[in-house]
Structure 1
Amino acid sequence: MSPEPAPRAHETPVSAESSDPQQRIAALEEMILARLDDDKAQDVIFIDLKGKSAVADGLIVASGRSHRHVGAMADHLLRALKEQGYGKARVEGLPHCDWVLIDTGDVIVHLFRPEVRSFYNIEKIWSVEPPKTAALS
């Protein structure tokens, strides 16, 4: 009887609900998007990286209205990941909350303040059009 292989260094253990990795990744993406929707994240974009990058299978970019909103979204997402069995994600940028990066291993989440997001424009790196803002009339 051989134990399951240990996760590779860049992977975070995920929920054992499904033995199919693609189903676990899809459930993780769905959970993150639902959590961001609950927290009123703005201009949420999902970029599918399956087969395009070895870094992750998905990239999610979202904006918050302020430092506090970005920090709260990050905190809520980290708690939800842990509670639902996706393990402890790696986090960068929490002290300032201008740009918070959450790396779950399979999905990378970027949470920005709008000004910082427009400055770095990471959607352009992956050839995704940034969300259009409606002109006020």
Structure 2
Amino acid sequence: MTTDNPAPPATSEEVEKLHDLVMQLMDDEQAQEVVSIPLTGKSSIADHMVIASGRSSRQVAAIANKLAEKVKKDTGKSPRIEGLPVADWVLIDCGDVIVHLFRPEVRSFYNLERMWAFGDEEGSA
């Protein structure tokens, strides 16, 4: 019987490096309306939630796949992806950074920013 040893928790520097990598890729791939919501103190699921839109399902899928490849290349960890191949709403779980990619109509319907931005005085960008 084998036991899985959980990975040690990431340092704050590693978390910020991962967050910066995600934000840079969103910019490079021309994701639209990128919002980053800090989750520290709000949830134990992650330290950051990034929400962005693609112009089409095809672009959403392409961004998700490129992000997964980049995170694996830079960190050695394989993110979990949910929502492909339909790509209306794709979730990429990078561990300390959770990324939601939407088609614009689907994003406006679920409005995750409003749900998760509670307690923020100025909002976030």
Normalised TM-score (structure 1): 0.79
| Aligned match of 1:31 | 21
Matches within 5 A, 1:1-137: 6-7=6-7, 21-127=11-117
- Supply the distance in 2 between the matched residues of 1:32 and 1:87 (Cα, whole angstroms): 14
Q: What do the CA deviations read for 1:10-39 (whole angstroms, capped 9, x no partner)? A: x7xxxxxxxx70000000000000011000
CA distance in 2 between counterparts of 1:108 and 1:120 reads: 16
Instruction: Mark the structure with the bigger radius of gyration.
Output: 1
> In 2 relative to 1, CA 86–48 (structure 1 residues): closer, same or farther, beyond 3 Å?
farther
Deviation at 1:86, TM superposition (A): 4.3
**Bigger share in helix:** 2
How many residues align structurally? 117
5+ residue gaps, structure 2, are none
Residues 119, 130 of structure 1: CA spacing in aligned structure 2 closer, same or farther, 3 A cutoff? Answer: farther
2:29 alignment partner AA: D
Q: CA deviation at 1:46?
A: 0.3
The 8 Å contact of residues 123 and 130 in structure 1, kept in 2 or not, is answered as: no
Equivalence for 1:134:
none
Q: Which residue of the partner structure matches residue 15 of structure 1? A: none
Quick one: distance in 1 between partners of 2:124 and 2:22? Answer: 20
Checking the alignment, whether the CA contact within 8 Å between 1:44 and 1:63 is kept in structure 2 is: yes
| Contact 2:37–2:117 (8 Å) recurs in 1 | no
**Structure 1 residues 130 and 112, CA gap change in structure 2 (3 angstroms):** farther
Residue identity matched to 2:7? P
Q: In 2, distance between residues paired with 1:48 and 1:130?
A: 8
Identical-pair percentage: 46
TM-score by length of 2: 0.86
Which 4+ runs in 1 deviate beyond 2 A?
127-131
